[in-house]
Structure formats: structure tokens, C-alpha cells
Amino acid sequence: MSSPRRDLHELNRRSWNEATRAHNSHKGDQAAFFRAGGSTLFPEEVDLLGPLEGKRLVHLQCNAGQDTLSLARLGADVTGVDISDEAIAFARRLAAETGIPARFVRADIYDWFEEAAARGEQYDLVFSSYGAVCWLSDLAAWGRGIAGVLAPGGAFALVEFHPVVGMYDDQLRLTWPYRDPEPFIGPGVGDYVAASGEGLVPWGFEPGVTGFENPHAGAEFAHGTSDVIMALIGAGLVLEVFREYEYANGCRFFERAEMREGRRFYLPADTPAIPQMYAVRARKPA
């Protein structure tokens, strides 16, 4: 049986600390955006999660907390968990500056699963999204961890970039395998916010940090969609929803991608309409 690669998680913690500062440099006064009623959520995750009023929700790999606070704004009792010190510190400041109630925990999620289960914590919803799965070193342990903190009848919801996207570089050249049992250790987290512009900062993109190069390496893991689904089923959850989308919300992966209505990036008509996102919902039996 495999086990989480905490040594590689530590590489990623340092990498995300650097990248988070660069990402937030493009986003201006985020507190003002939220105080004015703004939300960073897309319709896909709102639809997948369903009504949130009064629901206990944990947002895994929550990054700097923008989506977490948007979920709290919809009525959920929210906890956000992320490995990055910089991201959690920013999320806590943003919650304080906006007055939106949310708890944020700095932890490797594999450690958090064990600690939360030992405390007897139970959630109605577990949520994760957009660029989370590629950082998971042990999908089986991840699935078990989710099942362990879900209340009976509760659901896990995931909206994620499709692993097919990870096979290509930004020029649509086939570069990496669809799945690989070995981690890929290479350049750290890049400045995808700068590459995506208004796709990720609709309230007003700012140049911020330019020419960002992460000084820390990163370790990514190539998991197929079936690997994700089977990890959840293997942990005893029941699959309810699986969807694929030919666009990517907010994030420009390919140089020729075109942003259309709803800040969705599509490939042009002369290229194959590969899936760029997928969604999963799985429920713990009552």
C-alpha cells in the first residue's frame, strides 16, 4: 500500500508560498470586492454543491480563501484547509477585512484528515476544486480521509481541471502522459493568474509581479479521472455525478484559447474540443 509523500508535500508548500504572493499581486483590493457582494465561484460548483444554508462544509486545498469566503457568503459554516502558510495567512486577513465568518487551518490535508477524524469532526459537505488533484500523492488515503470526515448522508463535490489538459503544453503539443505512477518534479507553481488575466480577476486585473519565476521546485502527480472516481468508491462513497466540460473556467491553459461568456476559455474551432474540466459528486451512505 502506498502512503502520502510528505517530503514532496514540503516542496510544494514552499513553492505555493512563493506563488501565492505573486498571484495576489494581480488581484487588487479583494476585500473591497467581497464587501461589495462579490463572489469568485462559477456556476458549476454552485450547482454541484446545492443549497448551502446551514451546511457544515470543509474546503480542502482552499488556497488563499477566496472561494471559501464565497461559500460562506452562501450560508455555509465553512472551514478552509491548505498547506501554504502564505495562503492561509492571507485568507485569515481577508476574512477579517470582509467580516465574512470562516475558519482557516494551515495543514497538509493528510495530517488534517487524521487530526479531524480523531476529534470526531463531521461535515455535511467536503469540497475541492481547480488544480487540487495534481498535488495529491496518495489518492486512496485521500478518499479514505474524505469518507472519514463526512457525516452519514454527506457528499464530496469536486470541480477540477481535466487530466487531458495536463498532457499538453501551452502550444497544444503532446508532452506528458495521461497518468504516471511516478511524481513529476520540476519547476514550481507558476503565475497562472498573470496568464489568465481577467479570467481569474474579473473585478480588475493588475500587472503586479512581472516575470515571476518560482525559486522552489514542485512535485505533481498525474492521476486519471478513473483513478479519482475509484479512490472515492474504494472509500465507500457512492458516485452520483460525473460530468466533463470542453472549457476551462477562468484559467487559460493554451495560448490560442479564447475567453467567452462566463469567463470560460475554449479552444478555437480548428482544434479538437478536448475536455478541460470535469465534475464529480459522491455521497456517503446514510
DSSP string over 54-94: T-EEEEET-TTSHHHHHHHHTT-EEEEEES-HHHHHHHHHH
Q: Given this model, what pLDDT does residue 231 score?
A: 98
In degrees and rounded to multiples of 5, residue 26 shows phi and psi of: -95, -5
Q: What is the pLDDT of residue 218?
A: 93
Give the per-residue pLDDT at 197.
Answer: 85
- Neighbouring CB atoms inside 10 A of 59's CB total 29
Interatomic CA distance for residues 217 and 229, integer angstroms: 29
pLDDT for residue 1: 56
CATH 3.40.190.10 is right for the domain spanning 6-283? no
b/e 13-32 (16+ beta carbons within 10 angstroms → b): bbbbbbbbbbbbbbbeebbe
pTM: 0.94
pLDDT along the chain (286 residues), means of 10: 84 91 90 93 96 97 96 97 95 96 96 96 97 96 97 98 95 93 90 87 88 92 96 98 97 94 94 94 97
pLDDT given for residue 162 in this prediction: 97
What are the CA-CA distances from residue 147 to residues 14, 110, 144, 155 (Å)?
A: 28, 13, 5, 9
Sheet holding 123-129, edge to edge: 103-106, 77-82, 56-60, 123-129, 150-161, 277-283, 238-245
